[in-house]
Structure 1
Amino acid sequence: MKRQRACIIGGTGFVGRHLLTRLGNAGYHCVVPTRRAFRHRDLKLYPKVELHEVEETTAYEALFADCSLVVNLAGILNESDGASFQAVHVDLVRRLVAAAQAAGVPRLLHMSALRADAEQGSSAYLRSKGAAEDIAHGADLRVTSFRPSVIFGRGDSFFNRFRSLLDIAPGMVPLACPQAQFAPVWVEDVVQAMVRSIDDERTVGQRYDLCGPRVFTLKELMVETARHLGKRVWIIDLDDKRSHLMARLFDKLPGAPMTLDNYRSMQTPSVCEEHNGLLQLGIHPTDIDTIVPTYLGT
């Protein structure tokens, strides 16, 4: 049945794996395109998941055949030689939208980012995410976008990155942008919001900001991570000038832990300014204290 088939772009990633479970429980057979299927063989153990090996030139229209739902989770935080914000966030969305329209797919869920804005975004990342949103919502499709703050949960790249840093820290950590603000949102709340929206006509055309129940500074989140790990660490706050310098230096390193564009993104608080989409969708946001200790340990 067409209603039971969904194609998940970016389904092999952190959010994607959680979403696949939710969609499977909702009765969907999920098609997951990937360029390296051998790296994700474990997904074959997921019920109702079908991996498809694809290339750069793969025609998405064929993948979308008989699908009633396409979900776009594709995204990068940093550019590299093989991936740019323009290519991954903008050009890909344009291709997906055209293919979905050609294949007659009626429903598109699109993952964006909190404070994304094509014109006013403080970083190239946020501007590209905003441009992608506008492309998706300008199409003749029933589209809903989700704009989360930093997403946490087992297997995340946020608290787990803090843990890796603290594991090698010699008792002190210089921290750039210590006062940057975030409202961490649990991955299961995010995917629940996505699945809940599929058949709800009131969500069509909406762009939902998704936030956890509390706002933290970056320093406070580092302190929370250290507390859950039972580590004592001296966090050295870097002022704006030194934060910018650190970003410039790291930006030149392969696999940079921080880039100038990350620095620019953190100049904009990643918090919900008005409405929290989770509450609008009837979901009570989950606090980090409920979840983070279960995978970081105490």
Structure 2
Amino acid sequence: MNLDPDLYQHPKLITVFGGSGFVGRHVVETLVKRGYRVRVAVRRPEVAYYMLQIGEVGQVQMLKTNVRIRESVARALIGADAAVFLPGLMYNDGRNSFSAVQEEGAKNVAELARSAGIQLVHISALSEATDATAYIRTKRAGEEAVRVACPEAVVLRPSVIFGPEDQFFNKFADMTRFSAVLPLFGGGKTRFQPVYVGDVAEMIARAVDGVVPAGKVYELGGAEVLSLRQVLEETLNVIRRRRPLMYVPFWLGQLAGGVFGLVGRIPMLPTVTTADQIKMLKYDSIVSEKAVKEGRTLQGAGITPHAVDALLASYLWRFRVHGQFSKITA
């Protein structure tokens, strides 16, 4: 943790793009605890004003920002000492497409941060699918744009991020409330290395502190590697429910995801999943041996990752039939 006394006399300003999201909220809180001032740059600040309660009065400020518009990005960077780029989409949403946000938006922030001499921390994604899905393809394209425009940026590639309000364990747990089975896409052999959102936030904060070497790509994984089957089994164990795991071929899953994706475009109806999300489940998301040897990991930065089983029950208990103290169902 940065304990420089001067920081509290003259606190630095950190602009966090996408700071009101799942990861962003933890990042903002971690930075605030270090004594930084934080500017939360988001498209809809009116739905995130609760974040102003974090830290001391005036320590967190909101600014309406659209990363697709360079003028908007430039305004968000005025007076900033560092910037963190977090925006990511799980599906296209009108003009806020994968390409517009994850590629062009990342490029805008990187170019303007470099021209202003501002330190940048960029969040990408960890997957063997370098260009097989629109999500990963644009994440990697955005990452490359950042490395070209801002060579000294710190690039972080997290595996599946878990924690309260995640879109992984929560989604599978929620499925048990309306489905008699859980889908085991492709046999459940795909491997993940779930990383706790708090550990990701700590890594970002250390990069902002300047204790993480700049100009490198870091791969962030948790304490253990789990197959998709193990993920589902652990979820069922925590929520104390029993559901058979049904093998579903990827092609059928993508077909169903395509239908759900179209239904999700109807106003007032949620997007359950998409074909792109199912396709991503084909590919492993684990830290490479090269990254481990070179110290480009959480452990290399001095962070001990939290285990999944140590934290999962703290937020999945709400999916138990009778709440926190319910027994497993027949």
TM-score (norm 2): 0.82
Residue 185 of structure 2 corresponds to residue 172 of structure 1: no
Q: Deviations over 1:86-127 (max 9, x none)?
A: 10111111211222133332x10000000377xx42212111
Instruction: Give how far 1:130 is off.
Output: 0.8
CA contact (8 A) 1:44 1:50 kept: yes
Q: What is residue 110 of structure 2 aligned with on the other side? A: 97
Q: What is residue 262 of structure 1 aligned with on the other side? A: 277
Which of 11, 36, 44 is 2:44 aligned to? 36
Instruction: Give how far 1:202 is off.
Output: 5.5
Which of 216, 220, 224 is 2:226 aligned to? 216
* Distance in 2 (alpha carbons) for counterparts of 1:18 and 1:140: 25
* Distance in 1 (alpha carbons) for counterparts of 2:197 and 2:238: 19
> Structure 1 214/201 Cα, relative in aligned 2: closer, same or farther at 3 Å?
closer
Instruction: Give how far 1:182 is off.
Output: 1.0
Q: Secondary structure at the match of 1:30?
A: strand
Instruction: Give how far 1:82 is off.
Output: 3.7
Residue 143 of structure 2 corresponds to residue 133 of structure 1: yes
Q: How does 1:29-108 map to 2 (within 5 A)?
A: 29-47=37-55, 48-54=59-65, 57=69, 58-105=71-118, 107-108=119-120
Which of 227, 233, 246 is 1:236 aligned to? 246
AA at the equivalent of 2:107: R
Q: What is residue 115 of structure 1 aligned with on the other side? A: 127
Q: Secondary structure at the match of 1:243?
A: helix
Q: Secondary structure at the match of 1:114?
A: coil
* Distance in 1 (alpha carbons) for counterparts of 2:32 and 2:210: 18
Instruction: Give how far 1:157 is off.
Output: 1.9
CA contact (8 A) 1:8 1:32 kept: yes
Q: Deviations over 1:170-191 (max 9, x none)?
A: x323343433221100011111
* Distance in 2 (alpha carbons) for counterparts of 1:272 and 1:54: 33
Instruction: Give how far 1:140 is off.
Output: 4.0
* Distance in 2 (alpha carbons) for counterparts of 1:174 and 1:100: 43
Instruction: Give how far 1:20 is off.
Output: 0.7
Identity of matched residues, % = 28
**Structure 1 residues 257-266 or 152-161, which shifts more?**
257-266
* Distance in 1 (alpha carbons) for counterparts of 2:162 and 2:275: 23
CA contact (8 A) 1:149 1:184 kept: yes
CA contact (8 A) 2:152 2:214 kept: yes
AA at the equivalent of 1:288: V
Gapped regions of structure 2 (runs ≥ 5): 1-6, 265-269, 318-323, 325-330
Residue 302 of structure 2 corresponds to residue 282 of structure 1: yes
CA contact (8 A) 1:19 1:191 kept: yes
CA contact (8 A) 2:185 2:281 kept: no
Which of 4, 11, 27 is 2:12 aligned to? 4
Instruction: Give how far 1:252 is off.
Output: 2.7
**Structure 1 residues 156-165 or 205-214, which shifts more?**
156-165
Q: What is residue 321 of structure 2 aligned with on the other side? A: none
Q: What is residue 205 of structure 1 aligned with on the other side? A: 215
Instruction: Give how far 1:83 is off.
Output: 2.0
* Distance in 1 (alpha carbons) for counterparts of 2:313 and 2:251: 34
Instruction: Give how far 1:148 is off.
Output: 0.6
Gapped regions of structure 1 (runs ≥ 5): none
Q: Secondary structure at the match of 2:241?
A: coil
* Distance in 2 (alpha carbons) for counterparts of 1:95 and 1:146: 18
